[in-house]
Amino acid sequence: MDESKIDIINPFGPAIAKVKMPENIVNKLNEYVDEIVNNKELSKKFDHGKNLIGNVKQEISLSKEIIEKSGLLSLLANATRAWIKYSLGQDITKFNIDGSWVVRQFSNEYNPVHWHGGHISGAGFLKLPSTFGETFQKEKKNLNGKLIMIHGSRSFMSNSKYEVKPEVGDFYIFPHYLMHAVYPFKDTNEERRSISFNATIDDKSFDVFV
């Protein structure tokens, strides 16, 4: 992957990588999820909600086959290699996805503050509603439907949170321990569809105490 296509964001402690999913990957993943959504047996088979913290309509586990076949595995692996190389000056030899899932979120649903397992995690956007609704107090910042990332505590010249406005195709990659949440939204019956993953890399790169 061309490193010029990766944005490195440094809002606080750990760097975050941002990469764009090509339209064909987004379409393949959405078609796969739609097939599951429209089939009761498949919805039950791939139900991942019991393993996750989100208070949302449906969470669907992705098969290893679709992760690889769609091109997502290659995209995330290459982006992570470039991100680690930029941030640490190291070349990783391993990138194993331990799990990946899709979150289907609708009006008034939310994902509370949480973190992931593995070494590396991320969140991308497959489908978004045309509106997230307005704030009750019009002069307030509208955070409806946004992804919020949290690290440490607020201090002089150091932010503790980074707000992400979702855009279809955008994928953010970050260390597994980075706390994050998704705010609820309203005034729409449309779906906010996101995708997440957990992965492991070389222990020597991840474990700073080795």
Which whole number is the average pLDDT over 192-203? 97
Candidate ranges 42-51, 154-163, 181-190, 199-208; pick with highest mean pLDDT: 181-190
120 within some domain: yes
Residue-level pLDDT at 23: 97
207 within some domain: no
67 within some domain: yes
114 within some domain: yes
150 within some domain: yes
4 within some domain: no
8 within some domain: no
6 within some domain: no
Domain of residue 72 covers: 17-202
Residue 4 has pLDDT above 70, yes or no: no
Which CATH number does the domain housing residue 100 bear? 2.60.120.620
Residue 196 has pLDDT above 50, yes or no: yes
> What is the Cα–Cα distance from 126 to 105, expressed in whole angstroms?
12
Greater confidence, 132 or 159? 132
Q: Residues 135-176: pLDDT tens digits?
A: 999 889 999 999 999 998 878 877 899 999 999 999 999 999
Residue-level pLDDT at 122: 97
135 CB-near residues (< 8 Å, 6+ apart): 141, 142, 144
Average pLDDT, the chain: 93
Share of residues in the chain with pLDDT > 70 (%): 97
Residue-level pLDDT at 114: 96
Long-range CB pairs of 74-78, under 8 A, 24+ apart, other chains included: 75/1, 75/19, 75/21, 75/22, 75/25, 75/171, 76/19, 76/122, 76/171, 76/173, 76/197, 76/199, 78/1
User: Which pLDDT band holds residue 2 (cuts at 50, 70, 90)?
Assistant: low
> What is the Cα–Cα distance from 48 to 33, expressed in whole angstroms?
13
Residue-level pLDDT at 210: 62
Q: Residues 72-131: pLDDT tens digits?
A: 999 999 999 999 999 999 999 999 999 999 999 999 999 999 999 999 999 999 999 999
Number of neighbouring beta carbons within 10 Å of residue 40: 9
- Give the length of the chain: 210
Domain total of the chain: 1
